[in-house]
Every structure is written in C-alpha cells, then in structure tokens.
Amino acid sequence: MNKDTKEKNIDEEDYIDEEILEEDFVGEDLSFFKKTPVKIFFALILIISLIYISTGIREYFFYRRTPISVQFQPSGMVVDEEEIVVPVSVFVIRENRFKSARTDEEVDHILENGFRFFEEANISFSTRRIVDLYIESDNFLTNHSAFLKSVDDYDRQKINIFLTGHLDGNNGIAFMGLNSLAVADYVTAHDYRTLAHEIGHILGLGHSNHPASVMYQASYGTRFSLDEIEKMRRYAKEIEISR
Ligand SMILES: [Zn+2]
C-alpha cells in the first residue's frame, strides 16, 4: 500500500511537472504571437523606408523601361479639321546624373507611339533634330531655365522634348511657358503615354478627372475629349510650322 501511494505521488508530481511545462510552453507561445505583429510592423516600416530612401531601389521595384514590342493602337477617330504640324526638337541627355540609356531604336519608339495619341486631334509632329546632349551641369530639375540656356539648339518656337534616365521619381515633367518637357527611361506607365501626357500639358491642357483621358494622372488613359482636342489645336496653331 505504501508502495502504491508513493508511486501515485510520483505520478502526480510528474503530471504536475508536465502541466507546468505545458503552461510555460503555452505562455511563451502566446507571447510570441503577441510580439510578432509588432516585429513585422517595424520590419515593414524599415523595409519601406529603405525603399523610399533610395530612388534607385524604388525605381528597381516600381519603375520599368517600356519594351519596344509594346505598340500604341490609336482609336482611329480623327477630328474633321485640317492637319496641324508642330515642330519638335528631341534631346537625349547623355551626361550628368540624368543621363538616359535609350538606344536610337528606343528613341524612335517613344516618339512614334507618343505622337500617335494626337492623331485624333489631327495634330502631327515634325521632328527636325534628335540631339545627344553632353552637359555636365546637374541643374536640369533645380533650375531648368538656366539649363535650357546651355542647350544650343533649344528653341522656344518648338516643343523641346528631353529624354532622361530618371526624373527623381517622376515619370515626366512639363515645363510650361518654356515649351519644354522631359520623360524618364524608367516609368510606372508606358513611356510613350507619359510623353503624350506631357505634350498635352505643353499644348495647354490640365489634368482630367476621366480615367480614359491621356490627361488623367497615373493611369493608362489614351483618349482626348473634344474640349481637350479643341484647346490643343488652338495652342498648336500658334507654334505650327508655317507653310
Ligand atoms: Zn500631368
């Protein structure tokens, strides 16, 4: 009987020990789950800050070069007005921190496809020159008018298109009043759609609330409204090539 009692005691002790162990385990397990979301939260904050600290990393994740296999298909609609031909100069920045890596083929691709958006407005573009620019100065964005002074072929009577590698996180920029715009190699849309959007600004358009519009921000809208077409044609007339 004594033996039995002892054995029972041992069993009970063992059981209690096991229980304690289990409780410990459960306790640790719960605190692990309590802490993990906090750790994940801080890890995410760290990762997101790292991505945004470096434009290079951000561009790597979100910005792409447009493959030349992608072609823009115009709607086929053309406004019943005479054709307006707008003169254009193209500058490919080849030096300083904005330098573009575009090949000649890629330059042709963005121009051909970007200009096609204006077929429905019956506005076409005559590219008089494509110039590789070797300018050391980095003031392309910070003092654009000073930058333009150092560009021999800049002509305010034309639309001046600058192709750059990046634009500090922007797909494109229009310098209104200077008839000058820029499109980056690395963009979050198709580069030719960005080109069409910036030309739209140069031709007097603001942003549109319609997702189908070229002038809608951050989208793939590809059309101009009749109002927009009318406005662009009025502006285009002023810089039209005199015939
Ligand atoms: Zn815009």
Domain boundaries, the chain: 1-53, 67-238
Read off the pLDDT of residues 197-233 as tens digits, 9 standing for 90 and up: 999 999 999 999 999 999 998 768 999 999 999 999 9
Ligand 1 centroid–CA 160 distance in Å is 17
Ligand 1 centroid–CA 208 distance in Å is 9
Ligand 1 centroid–CA 198 distance in Å is 6
Ligand 1 centroid–CA 4 distance in Å is 88
| Highest mean predicted confidence (pLDDT) among 27-31, 55-59, 74-78, 190-194 | 190-194
Helix (H) or strand (E) segment spanning residue 48:
helix 2-53
pLDDT band, very low/low/confident/very high, at 184 (cuts 50, 70, 90): very high
Helix (H) or strand (E) segment spanning residue 164:
strand 159-164
Read off the pLDDT of residues 2-46 as tens digits, 9 standing for 90 and up: 445 444 444 444 444 444 444 444 445 556 556 788 888 888 888
Architecture of the domain whose range is 67-238 = 3-Layer(aba) Sandwich (3.40)
Ligand 1 centroid–CA 64 distance in Å is 19
Ligand 1 centroid–CA 237 distance in Å is 22
Return all residues near 151 (Cβ < 8 A) that are at least 6 apart.
91, 133, 135, 160
Ligand 1 centroid–CA 193 distance in Å is 11
For 28-146, list the strands marked E by DSSP: 84-93, 123-133
> Alpha carbon of 57 to those of 67, 205, 214: distances in Å?
20, 33, 28
